[in-house]
Amino acid sequence: MTTAEEEIRAAARKRERSKAAFERDDAALRELFVKWRAADVGPSDMARWSGMTREWVAKIAPDPKRSKPADSDD
């Protein structure tokens, strides 16, 4: 193996581990947004604490009180 090949293979393996860790941690954060939104914590507070935008948090964890049932006749 050449030095270039070794470096690129090592970087690719590191990237895959980083990607897996990001996806795991992102899923955990999304679960927390949903959990605490259901407990009446506002998206503005969660956005401030997480560094995300309020809109992004609200999209991930909409207000459960405002959600319509899927099989509604309205």
Q: Torsion over CA of 38, 31, 52 and 23, rounded to 10 degrees?
A: -170
43 contacts: CB under 8 Å, gap ≥ 6:
33, 37, 54, 57, 58, 61
Confidence at residue 71, expressed as pLDDT on a 0 to 100 scale = 55
What percentage of the chain exceeds 90 in pLDDT?
81
Q: For residue 28, is pLDDT > 80?
A: yes
pTM, two decimals, is: 0.75
* Residue 21: pLDDT band with limits 50, 70, 90: very high
* Residue 64: pLDDT band with limits 50, 70, 90: confident
